[in-house]
Amino acid sequence: MKERVQTQSGFVVRRMRPDDGPALDAVFAGMSDQSRYQRFLVPTPHLLTSVRRALLDLSDRHVAFVAESAGERRPIGIGRYVVTGPDEVEIALGVVDDWHRQGVGRELLGHVVRAATEAGKHDVVAAVASDNHAMMGLARACLPGVQVAVRDRMLCLCAALPSVSCAAA
Ligand SMILES: CC(C)(COP(=O)(O)OP(=O)(O)OC[C@H]1O[C@@H](n2cnc3c(N)ncnc32)[C@H](O)[C@@H]1OP(=O)(O)O)[C@@H](O)C(=O)NCCC(=O)NCCS
């Protein structure tokens, strides 16, 4: 996989590293209270140190990508997966509000899906708030056959991982 992928939409995507704390902080800072709630499913005015540490604890079982604006390389979004079962990954995405609806989430999801597929995983889940129309719309656009289910009393989007990422479609 290329280290940095230039898109035609004014941003680049690269693999996230454990020392990417500043990128994590910048993306979090650029998300509104509502976006943070949609991302973490609870009101999240600040990133707890323990949560921040976990979000940077990257490995072959926890893979993340950062989107950066093409010019000044400002971090504008992060997409990740965590291995949650022999065949399954859980994904999460966060895009700064100023960049919503400009293809960043789609591109990040494509990278996450492709990496999970290359790692041999077959199923993807994402925990979502019931009013998260953006994530539901993105999943419908990128994950054919995605279904809404309740797991552990949480609303989840569930899909089989496509063999070709939506970013390449
Ligand atoms: C969900 C999120 C990542 C989408 O990122 P984005 O960069 O705005 O999405 P994109 O521009 O790539 O949109 C791709 C497609 O998703 C769908 N979509 C995106 N936003 C949507 C919205 N508000 N309503 C309905 N569909 C939407 C559309 O099909 C869109 O394609 P289109 O613009 O050609 O119609 C972003 O809204 C976000 O960070 N939200 C807060 C955090 C969050 O909800 N994370 C998900 C929890 S796992």
DSSP string, 45-88: SS--HHHHHHHT--BTTEEEEEEEETTT--EEEEEEEEE-SSSE
Cα of 107 to ligand 1 centre, how many Å?
Answer: 11
Indicate if the alpha-carbon torsion angle 98, 136, 21, 112 is positive or negative: negative
Distance CA 40, CA 93 (A): 10
pTM above 0.85, yes or no: yes
Cα of 104 to ligand 1 centre, how many Å?
Answer: 8
Question: What's CA 115's distance to the chain center, in Å?
Answer: 12
Domain that holds residue 102: 4-168
Q: Is 125 in a helix, a strand, or coil?
A: strand
Q: H helices of the chain, where? A: 21-29, 33-40, 49-55, 104-118, 133-142
Distance CA 68, CA 27 (A): 10
Ligand 1 shell residues, CB under 6 Å: 35, 38-39, 92-95, 100-106, 126, 128, 132-135, 137-138, 141
Highest mean pLDDT among 2-6, 113-117, 148-152: 113-117
- Domain with residue 80: its CATH number is 3.40.630.30
Contact by Cβ (8 Å): 30, 76: yes
Give residue-wise pLDDT tens across range 35-49. 999 999 999 999 999
Give residue-wise pLDDT tens across range 17-75. 999 999 999 999 999 999 999 999 999 999 999 999 999 999 999 999 999 999 999 99
> Does residue 121 surpass a pLDDT of 50?
yes
Contacts of 29 (CB under 8 A, 6+ apart): none
pLDDT confidence bin for 169, thresholds 50/70/90: very low
Q: Whose CA is nearest to atom 22 of ligand 1?
A: 134
Q: Which atom of ligand 1 is nearest to 141's Cα?
A: 29
Indicate if the alpha-carbon torsion angle 164, 89, 28, 39 is positive or negative: positive
Contact by Cβ (8 Å): 27, 79: no
Residue 156 pairs with which residues in a beta bridge? Answer: 127, 149
Cα of 133 to ligand 1 centre, how many Å?
Answer: 8
Q: What is the mean pLDDT of residues 124-143?
A: 96
Contact by Cβ (8 Å): 66, 77: yes
Q: How many domains, in total, are found in the chain?
A: 1
pLDDT at 6: 63
